[in-house]
Amino acid sequence: MHRKMSSEQRITGDGMLQVRHFFLSAGQRCLFYGQCVITCLLLYCCMPQPTFAHPPISPQSIDSNARWSHLASTIFQNISTDRGLPHPIATAVHESQDGFLWVGTQGGLSRWDGYRFRTYLPDPKDLHSLPDVWIQAMHTDSRGRMWVATYEGGLARYNPQFDNFERVPIGPGGLSHASVSALADDGDGGIYIGTDGGLDQYTPDTGGMRHWQFDPNDAQSLPDNHIYALLREKNGTLWIGTGRGLVRRQPGSAQFERVALPVASEQAVIVRTLALASGGNYP
């Protein structure tokens, strides 16, 4: 059996240091070292621990989805044509109900699945292809149908079954204009469509189309035919951003109420974006 010499030191009554040597077996050494480790841990736990001057973080003040965001730095990743986008200028971003991220650009539409892009482009020989390369807006309606608004090709509905597009007619009986900038649900299974020729309301199940346009002889008509933004509240109120200010239409009304904005009265204001406040009541 291997033994290891150890020693014991003590001070005698006359102040002399006395050292006594003795031998420990392997088992005795393990027991001795274990007792030392436990003693050190007990001493550490009894010591007062240092405190750090971090401000308290209230769980109620942090959104549940971002509770741990303050612990890590935000990292941005640049995704451009080198990763598969058809054009470096992104004009619209939308997430469909199946979880795909759609990116509209000035050179086509791309679908991101988390790994790669699938790009859609117009094909003059295919009436079910994307109608235009320049994407202006995207919207998923209450029934899960995704709509794509374009700069010169009107409006199209994406068909996931065949991975293609169904185009909405332009002209008599169809869209007021080929340039579509905004989309919103109408609450009855259809959609409102903001074009450069006025406001349209489309019912996909029947193909019906209604139109509202600027009338210089009617102060309660649209103030302009260029519709850039649409937002419908839960109570049915429709807010409309135009080339000459902001208007709203109450549920069941055919009249448009002009909303004063904090600018000079003679200044024409283009309203391009609308969003609900945190309370969800007003844009």
Q: What is the mean pLDDT of residues 197-214?
A: 97
Give the DSSP H or E segment for 4.
strand 3-11
Q: Please write the tens of the pLDDT for every residue from 76-97.
A: 888 889 989 999 999 999 999 9
Give the DSSP H or E segment for 45.
helix 26-46
Instruction: Look up residue 82 and give its DSSP letter.
Output: G
Q: What is the mean pLDDT of residues 250-269?
A: 86
CA angle 257, 203, 280 (to 5 degrees): 45
Give the range among 17-26, 112-121, 226-235 with minimum mean pLDDT: 17-26
- Model pLDDT, residue 278: 73
Q: Please write the tens of the pLDDT for every residue from 134-156.
A: 999 999 999 999 999 999 999 99
Quote the mean pLDDT of the chain. Answer: 83
Instruction: Look up residue 32 and give its DSSP letter.
Output: H
Residue 36 pLDDT exceeds 60: no
Q: How far, in Å, CA of 164 to CA of 134, rounded? A: 17
Q: Give CA 78 to chain center in angstroms.
A: 16
**Closest listed residue to residue 132, CA positions, set 172, 162, 87, 193:** 87
Q: How many CB atoms lie within 10 A of CB 198?
A: 21
